[in-house]
Structure formats: C-alpha cells, structure tokens
Structure 1
Amino acid sequence: MDLAVAAGERVAVIGASGAGKSTLLGVLNGSVTPTAGSVRVLGTEVAGLRGPALRRLRARTGTMHQHLELIGPLRVVHNVNAGRLGTWSAARALRSLVQPQGLDDVRTALARVDLADRMFQRTDRLSGGQRQRVALARLLVQRPELVLADEPASALDPALADQALQLLGGLAVERGGALITCLHDPALALRHCDRIVGLVDGRVTLDAPTSSLTLAELERFYGVVR
C-alpha cells in the first residue's frame, strides 16, 4: 500500500470486512507494527516508537475504535476524560477518578453529542448508540490533530450519524489535521468526506475525490469485493 493523506483532508476508507481497514488505522496509531515499509504520522516515523515518544504521538492522534474501548463500570465523565490522559500527569489522572476534573469541557462535549444529562451515569447502562457518542465526546475533549475513526456511526440513526461525521470532520480540520474514517455506508462517505479510498485484500484499488464518484459506483465496488 502506498497512501498519503494531506492536512485538511477527510478521507473515507471503504471495503468489505477483512479488507484491511481496521489494520490500516492500527498501523497509523502505532498499535499495529508493519512488517515492512515506512509509516509517517504527523511528520513522525511510527516504527520503533516507545514510551514517552509513542504517548506524545497518541496524544496528537485520536482514535475512535470499532469496539469503542470504554470502561463500562466507570461513569460517563471518566470515560470522556480518558481523552486527556495523554496530556495529564499520572497524579492528576488518579485524582480525577475520585474528583472528576475539567467538568465544563466534559459537559460541553457531551452536549454536542446530546448526552449532557448522562454525565454521571454508569457507561455500561447506556445503549449502544449512546456509548458510541460517549466515545465521540472523548475525542472532542482530546482535540487531536489527526482523527482515526473506525465505523463511528454504525450504531447511530441517520440523523445522529450525520452529526457524528460533521463533528469528526470539523474536529480534524480545526486543528489543521485530517480525518481518516472507515465506513460501511457509501452515502455517508459521499456526504462527509473529500476523498474515498477503497481496499481489497489490503491493497488500494480505488482512490478518488468524492466529487468524481457516484453512489452507484460505490455500490458496485462493494458488489465486486463481496
């Protein structure tokens, strides 16, 4: 794979299950180590990063995982505040578990995803769509330069899915970074992204601006790989 994403771009990565979309995001955030080649993220070579250097890069890179990576027994406020762990000291992070820090920012982020009234509720008592919005609020308080989102709207109704993609795209662009998101909904990709990259068996077989693509073409792409 040879792929470059410029600052300010909103890129949708599409493809059938097993095409390599989630692996690509893992390589970009340093959780998956490639066996060959070079990966540069925000001007930094990812291979070989360890300890503080890797934490600094991850503080600038926000990932919304497909399985969300939330801690169910914790209250929503603590899961949202996890977005700041890359910039907080260990002492402040531990103190926040007892007396939550930055409540104004958390409340603002939750209001943007229509969950302001759930701040002190246990996360595992929320619906799947609500948990997905908690993960989105976590990114909003982190304010990363690069946003990596794996199926960020899979559990959301159409209106909330559009809202989520607008927030993610705006978050990346306002920091001068980029959004790279894996999506299974071609229509959502066309509405909210500038460019679409299609994967088949870990290889790029489609790379085009959304302005040059139609919904029918993307549906045919899915038909071929299925």
Structure 2
Amino acid sequence: MAAGERVAVVGASGAGKSTLLGVVNGSVPPTAGGVRVHGGDPAALRGRELRRLRARTGTIHQHLELVGPLRVVHNVNAGRLGSWSAARALRSLVQPHGLDDVRSALEQVGLADRMFERTDRLSGGERQRVALARVLVQRPDLVLADEPASALDPALADEAMRLLGELAADRGGALLASLHDPALALRHCDRVVGLAAGRVVLDAPAASLTLPELEAFYGVVR
C-alpha cells in the first residue's frame, strides 16, 4: 500500500477479510506467505517490538472490543495505551487523562455528551462510534477497519469513512477497510481488493469500477 492510500477489502462472509486484517496487525499468524508492516513482519515480532507496531496501527474490530462496564472516556483512551506506561494507564482509570483529546474525538463522531456514560448503555451504532473515536485519539500511521460502518446509518457511515481516510492521510499513512457496502468502497477508497475463499480475485482502482460491477461481484461471491 502506498502512503495515504485508502484500500477497501470486499467479499462475502468467510472470504478472509477479517483474517487478512488480523495478519496485518499481528494478531493472526499467516498459514502461508507473509506481510510487511512499517518495515517489519508482524508474525516475527515479540514483546516491545510488537507493541510498538501495534501502537502505530489503529484497529477497529468487527466486534469492537469495548469494555462495556467502563465509561466511554476510558474506552476511547484505550487507543493510547500502547504509548502510555502501565502506571499512567492505571491512574487514568481513576482520573482520566487527556480529556480535551477525548472530547475532540467524541465531538467528531457526535458523542461529546456521552463521554462519562457507561459504554454498555449505548446503542450499537453509538458503540461503533466510540470505537472510531478510540482510533482518532490514537492517531496511528496505519488504520485497519473491519466493517467500520456496519451499524451506522448512511450519513454517519459516510462521515466515519471520511474521518478514517483523513486520519490516515494526515499522517502519511494508509487505510485498509473491509466493507460490506460497495457504494462506500467506491466513494471513499482509492483501490478495491476482492477476496473469495482467501484468495484475491479482484484488484482494481475504485475509479475504474462502477457500482453495478461491484454489486455484481458481491452477488458472485456470496
């Protein structure tokens, strides 16, 4: 991927989209081949080196991985744990740090008034926006997003993709997002990679594809 590039990964459920993102962030070991991220192989890294890579890689997981009983502010601040000491992280659970940055991120996703709400009291769409805010405060070089707009209405989905693309571009990084909506892929990404049974069966500039063509691809691989 080139600096600033936004790549959509598309395909049916089970095609390998989430697995690909897991390989890139080092949480899933590849069964064959490999990847290089920030100049290193995630599968070969351990300890501090792996933590350093993950600190530079922001991930929105399909199941969000939020801690429900914690307040929103703590879940958003979790995006910075890779750059904080253990002592600072523990202190922040008592007296949250970086409130201005958290508030700014929540304002961008329309949740500034829910900063001290318990996260498990939010709707599914609101929790998705908390996960987005967590990546915004992390300010990573690479953003991995697994269905980042699946629980959002169309307007919020467009805004979420815009924010993720800008975040990647601002730092000269990149965005790799698995998307179930072909229209979102065409509007917000530079390149579309299609997977079927773990193999790349489509790789084309988004500008060269039409919505009917991509919808037909979804129909073929489902």
Q: TM-score, normalised by structure 2?
A: 0.99
1:64-83 aligned at under 5 Å gives the runs: 64-83=60-79
The correspondence for 2:164, drawn from 162, 168, 172, is 168
Find 1:18's aligned residue among 5, 14, 19. Answer: 14
Match of 2:174 in 1: 178
Runs of 4+ in 1 over 4 A off after TM superposition: none
Q: d(CA) in 2 for partners of 1:44 and 1:19?
A: 26
Could you say what the CA RMSD is over the residues aligned between the two structures, in angstroms? 0.6
- 1:53 maps to 2:49: yes
- Stretches of structure 2 lacking an aligned partner (at least 5 in a row): none
Aligned to 1:189: 185
- Match of 2:217? 221
**How many matched pairs?**
222
Partner of 1:157: 153
Q: Name the residue aligned to 2:202.
A: 206
Q: Give 3-state SS (helix, strand or coil) of 2:143's partner.
A: strand
TM-score, structure 1 normalization: 0.97
Q: Which structure 2 residues correspond to residues 26-175 of structure 1 after superposition, within 5 A?
A: 26-175=22-171
Partners in 1 of 2:42 and 2:14 — Cα distance? 23
Q: Residues of 1 paired with 2:162 and 2:39: CA distance?
A: 26
Letter in 2 for 1:17: S
Distance 2:141 2:122 in 1: 29
Shift of 1:223: 1.3
Give the partner amino acid of 2:140: P
For residue 44 of structure 2, give the secondary structure of its aligned residue in structure 1: coil
Residue 160 of structure 1 aligns to which amino acid in structure 2?
L
Alpha-carbon displacement from aligned partner over 1:71-102 (angstroms, at most 9, x marks no partner): 00000000000000000000000000000000
* Distance in 2 (alpha carbons) for counterparts of 1:197 and 1:102: 37
Q: Helix, strand or coil: the match of 1:35?
A: coil
Deviation at 1:7, TM superposition (A): 1.3
Matches of 2:95 and 2:43, distance apart in 1: 37
* C-alpha separation in 2, matches of 1:35 and 1:212: 32
CA apart distance, 1:37: 1.6
Which 5+ residue runs of structure 1 have no aligned equivalent?
none
Matched residue SS, 1:85: helix
